[in-house]
Chain A
Amino acid sequence: MNEFWVILTGALVGITCGLTGVFLILRKTAMIADAISHTVLFGIVMAFMITQSLNGFWMLIGAAAAGILTAYLVQVLQTGGLQEDAAIGVVFTSLFALGVLFITLFAGNVHLDVEHVLMGEIAFVPWDTWIILGVEMPKAVWMLLIVLSLNLLFLFFFYKEIKLSTFDPVFALSIGLPIVAMHYSFMTLVSLTTVATFDSVGAVLVVAMLVGPSATAYLMSKSVSGMIVWSMTFGVTASVTGYYLAKFWNTSISGMMAALVGVLFMLVFLLKPHDGLLWKTVKRVRLNNTKSVV
């Protein structure tokens, strides 16, 4: 039964991150997601410092706030003339360093395990449960279900708006779409997704789950809806397969999931009909051969 919960968690991670990740790729904000995955540490520490409790709920709030703060600070620096990549780099490394410092200063004797934050431990998921509306399930599963619902709701109501503001923000602004509100709403969703996920697979590997399946789907989709479906599929495949392989080789589950994300990407990158690298190379070689025959 415990294994069921672990696999379910992994599958939910794949689905939720696959969904959110699609728009990260399309909006070219993959590295802001990477930044957020580091700064959640800072948010959690701040939540602890303010509430003096390790309650998961406050950590969620703290992490979500850190995510929005990250997006906001990057925006401020960019408006001040700094190029985007450096803005992201400055903000997330500074906040991360601040988070690590605060941990050693104020939470050194509390079990705020930095490694756990970064790498997670999905095997421990079944033991930490929440009871909501009389149903008892692991906390991770609850958080993922809630965040997944929020993502789906957002997409259900604002699908065409997020699509247009991603594709052509200048045009979107010209017909009155609130693109700034969309940006920060989306960043909030990314923060929440990061928080819900990192408890199981750790912050850094959230990025693999957010970016990998959707990048793979990007290579093969002709529509945004198609990309979403493929991305979620790849996400689930990577996490479930990753779990079993990790069990088989007795190694880190989250690390294996991330590795499999990479493997799936490589497979599609190399082998996809017509666009895959190997395909294109074979075509070119065949073309050269026919030329030399003439």
Chain B
Amino acid sequence: MNALQIKNLSVAYEDKIVLKDVNISIPVGSLTGIIGPNGAGKSTLIKAILNQLPNKTGTVHILDRPLNPKDLIVGYVPQRNAVDWDFPTNALDVVLMGRYGHIGLMKKPPAKDKQIALDCLKNVGMEAFADRSIGQLSGGQQQRVFLARALAQEAEIYFMDEPFVGVDAATERTIISILKDLKAQGKTVFVVHHDLQTAGDYFDWMILLNKTITAYGPTKQTFTQENLQQAYGGKLFFMDQAKSNDNLVGER
């Protein structure tokens, strides 16, 4: 079974083509990085998969079915700037919102779900901040709250949009450890990632995107200099370090 199967997906906005002819099959249990330059359409791809874009052609199947939000199999971590952090609420409440799909319309959150939310906060190391106003949290702390909310969804497949942007080292370590845990549990995770330095280490599958799919597949085969140059339009420079196998990669 494929976790994600996309056929002939194209998205146009006004008269600009934002995504063209995307065809992907990614297996269950993989940890996939979605890589590409700015404006490549990475966030658009996520939104298209989540069926939040009306102007698309093509099909998206998750676990061999079209997406039905009521199935509660998809967890989502949006970009941090997707919400207004001045909203009057605390960290625990935000995580609890991740349970709303399970709790159902109109019902009050039972104690069991509040405990799940608290446990998820614990998993990301934020249990001490449970009743802290979200406006007082640092960027990394906010990101961890978002991650905890996605964990609270108890989904099968997770989509994360640039979770590593602007976070401190402790948060980065937390996110990586959560990703490893999810993989160990047999979950599938897709992460839009901006940092080419770390992409090769974090993910076992890769999607290289720049309006079209440059390449996708297991990291070793996909994350090559050749493919990267193509995806980034020849604007990368590579510094090979003789001592280790790490390449220093940067965007020109």
Tell me the A residues contacting B by CB distance below 8 Å.
26, 81, 157-158, 160-161, 163-164, 166-168, 170-177, 218, 221-224, 226-227
| Interchain CB contact (< 8 A) of A176 among B78, B101, B109, B133 | B101
Question: Are B52 and A170 neighbours in the complex by a CB distance under 8 Å?
Answer: yes
List 11 other contacts, CB 8 Å, given A174-B76, A176-B69.
Answer: A26-B87, A158-B105, A158-B106, A160-B97, A164-B97, A164-B100, A167-B89, A170-B78, A176-B101, A223-B93, A227-B88
Known: A173-B69, A175-B69. A218 touches B88 (CB 8 A): yes
Is B210 part of the binding interface, using a Cβ–Cβ cutoff of 8 Å? Answer: no
**Is B18 engaged at the interface, CB distance under 8 Å to the other chain?**
no
Knowing A157-B106, A158-B105, A223-B90, the reply to whether A167 touches B69 (Cβ < 8 A) is no
Contact (Cβ within 8 A) A173 B52: yes
A168 to B89, CA, bound (A): 12
Contacts of B105 in A (CB 8 A): 157-158, 161
**With the chains together, A277 CA to B88 CA distance in Å?**
20
Is residue B153 within 8 Å, beta carbon to beta carbon, of the partner chain? yes
B 60-79 binary contact with A (CB < 8 Å = 1; else 0): 00000000111010101010
User: Is the C-beta of B82 less than 8 angstroms from some C-beta in chain A?
Assistant: yes
By beta carbon, the residue of chain B nearest A81 is B14
Pick 11 A–B contacts, CB within 8 A, sort by A.
Answer: A160-B97, A161-B105, A167-B89, A168-B78, A170-B47, A170-B76, A171-B76, A175-B72, A177-B100, A223-B90, A224-B89
Shortest A234–chain B CB gap in Å is 15
Q: Which residues of A contact B130 (CB under 8 A)?
A: none
Min CB–CB distance A58 → chain B (angstroms): 32
Contact with A along B126-145 (1 / 0, CB 8 A): 00000001000000000000
Q: How far is the CB of A89 from chain B (nearest CB, A)?
A: 22
Taken together as a complex, chains A and B put the C-alpha atoms of A173 and B100 apart, in Å, by 12
| Bound CA span A223–B132, Å | 10
The answer on a CB contact under 8 Å between A222 and B52 is no
B239 interface contact, C-beta 8 A: no
The interface residues of chain B lying within 8 Å CB-to-CB of A171 are 76, 78, 82, 97, 149
Contact, CB under 8 Å: B87 / A222: no
**Residue B50 interfacial (CB < 8 Å):** yes
Q: Are B74 and A174 in touch, CB under 8 angstroms? A: yes
Bound Cα distance A84, B116 (Å): 39
When distances are taken between beta carbons in the complex, the residues of chain B under 8 Å from A168 are: 78, 82-83, 97
Most buried by A among B14, B90, B100: B100
Q: Are A167 and B74 in contact (CB under 8 A)?
A: no
CA distance A173 to B108 in the complex (A): 19
Closest to A220 in B: B88
CA distance A161 to B87 in the complex (A): 15
Residues from chain B with a CB closer than 8 A to the CB of A173 are 50, 52, 69
Q: How far is the CB of B46 from chain A (nearest CB, A)?
A: 10
Residue of B nearest to A224 (CB): B88
Most buried by B among A164, A174, A224: A174
A residues in contact with B78, CB < 8 Å = 168, 170-171
Closest 9 CB pairs of A and B: A176-B69, A175-B101, A157-B106, A174-B76, A221-B88, A176-B70, A164-B97, A222-B133, A168-B83
| Residue in B52, B70, B101, B133 whose Cβ sees the most chain A Cβ within 10 Å | B101
User: A163 vs B93: C-alpha distance in the bound complex, in angstroms?
Assistant: 10
Residues on the B chain within 8 Å of A163, using CB: 89, 97
